[in-house]
Amino acid sequence: MSGALDGIVVADFSRVLAGPYATMLLADLGAEVVKVERPGMGDDTRHWGPPYAADGTATYFAGVNRNKTTRWLDLASPEGLAEARELALRADVVVENFKPGGLEKMGLGYASLAVENPRTIVASISGFGSGEGRELPGYDLLVQAMGGLMSVTGPSAGHPTKVGVALVDVITGLHAVYGILAALRHRDVTGEGQHVEVNLLSSLLSALVNQASGYVAGSSVPGILGNDHPSITPYGVYATADRPLVLAVGNNGQFRSLCRVLGVEALGTDERFVTNPARVAHRDELRVALEEALAARGASEWHEALTGAGVPCGPINDVAGAFDLAASLGLDPVVAVPGSAVPQVANPLRMSATPPTYRLGPPPMPQFEP
């Protein structure tokens, strides 16, 4: 079955996470992705372990590098640079996350490539953009801190906490993909390529959505609320008789149903809780009342009863539990790749005509002569 991006060649000069994630998603849709790596070293994430897959591959690397082949090129040598330029000029898309200006110094930037191939598309990923922030190191943790995400994440005020995955890299990779797809569409219409730029800081600010909009449009600087929501209550983690339960009550009807199932119907008409703004204003009092009722039963029992009544809720799974849930729902979260011993997390897209495909496992690390 052909993929939506069959025939598109991607020269992948990126490493670590944001760029490789973007190029893997393009590869899943049929693009031919050629990953350029340094001989003897390769992508940094080849060495980021444990954990390791059964064949010894670092699972970090394996998670974002399927469906690719590798060209081992020393860009510091004339021969390696010449091969890299040939690849870049042949490619429809070049993806890179060198420090801004780095690729240009090697003659592989957009301005240089477009002279010989006006149809070329170059996607550049950086930490803080190609202007005043060009020299700042683009690490996900730094951007989580400097970009405000940690200021709204954590158990309580004074305890800023990072998200448990390099989320900013992932979001930036997704932004890179849709920028590349838009550039390909533009080229289909005009015959012209273009330079696509995306950076971690801007991607994070966009992804802060309601928190960012609250500041930009409402001059409200958000802080840490633990697991609570700044604008909706009850929307957080609540204690039960055995383990925590998440409630995600988004409207007044759901709140009344919650109160009915918990046997505390009076809360649904209490003036302190009858509307969402009132509930937000009295969130601490409401938490006490709800947890008193929730203490009567365990999380699994409440989950079944509340879900049956149309109240959004759920237990807090670990990663294993999350995969078990997805499997039980028929979502097939794990896929096997032909010829590879490394299982893969499924691409989340479902497409009726051109679904994602799994053709190649993560490229192996060859043995190089010392």
pLDDT digits (tens, 9 = 90+) for 110-132: 999 999 999 999 999 999 999 99
**Contact present, 143 and 201 (Cβ < 8 Å):** yes
CA distances (Å), origin 331, targets 158, 298, 328, 354:
39, 27, 8, 18
pLDDT for 182: 98
Q: Is residue 65 part of a domain?
A: yes
**Contact present, 181 and 109 (Cβ < 8 Å):** no
pLDDT for 56: 92
* Whether residue 274 sits in one domain with residue 171: no
Q: Pick from 172, 173, 131, 168: which is nearest to 149 by CA?
A: 168
The CATH number linked to 275 is 3.30.1540.10
* Whether residue 260 sits in one domain with residue 178: no
Q: Is residue 352 part of a domain?
A: no
* Whether residue 132 sits in one domain with residue 34: yes
Cα 255 from Cα 250, distance rounded (Å): 8
pLDDT for 369: 52
Three-state SS string across the chain, please? CCCCCCCCEEEEECCCCHHHHHHHHHHHCCCEEEEEECCCCCCHHHHCCCCECCCCCEHHHHCCCCCEEEEECCCCCHHHHHHHHHHHHHCCEEEECCCCCHHHHCCCCHHHHHHHCCCCEEEEEECCCCCCCCCCCCCHHHHHHHCCCHHHCCCCCCCCCCCCCCHHHHHHHHHHHHHHHHHHHHHHHHCCCCEEEEEHHHHHHHHCHHHHHHHHHHCCCCCCCCCCCCCCCCEEEECCCCCCEEEECCCHHHHHHHHHHHCCHHHHCCCCCCCHHHHHHCHHHHHHHHHHHHCCCCHHHHHHHHHHCCCCEEECCCHHHHHHHHHHCCCCCEECCCCCCCCEECCCCCCCCCCCCCCCCCCCCCCCCC
Q: Pick from 304, 281, 287: which is nearest to 227 by CA?
A: 287
Q: Is residue 4 part of a domain?
A: no
* Whether residue 56 sits in one domain with residue 132: yes
Sign of the CA dihedral running 53, 57, 60, 64? negative
Q: Is residue 25 part of a domain?
A: yes
Sign of the CA dihedral running 74, 341, 339, 370? positive
pLDDT for 368: 60
Based on the residue annotation, tell me whether 242 is a catalytic residue of this protein: no
Is the pTM higher than 0.75? yes
What's the one-letter identity of residue 250?
Answer: G
* Whether residue 312 sits in one domain with residue 169: no
Q: Is residue 128 part of a domain?
A: yes
* Whether residue 306 sits in one domain with residue 337: no
* Whether residue 127 sits in one domain with residue 37: yes
* Whether residue 242 sits in one domain with residue 164: no
Identify the domain containing residue 106 by its residue range. Answer: 9-207+333-345
pLDDT for 367: 72
pLDDT for 2: 81
pLDDT digits (tens, 9 = 90+) for 197-251: 999 999 999 999 999 999 999 999 999 999 999 999 999 999 999 999 999 999 9
Choose the catalytic residue: 140, 169, 188, 318: 169
Cα 154 from Cα 235, distance rounded (Å): 16
CB neighbours of residue 9 within 10 Å:
15
List the chain residues with pLDDT less than 70: 1, 368-370
* Whether residue 71 sits in one domain with residue 26: yes
The CATH number linked to 186 is 3.40.50.10540
Q: Is residue 366 part of a domain?
A: no
* Whether residue 172 sits in one domain with residue 261: no
* Whether residue 155 sits in one domain with residue 86: yes
Q: Is residue 155 part of a domain?
A: yes
Q: Is residue 301 part of a domain?
A: yes
* Whether residue 337 sits in one domain with residue 314: no
Q: How many domains does the chain have?
A: 2
pLDDT for 42: 94
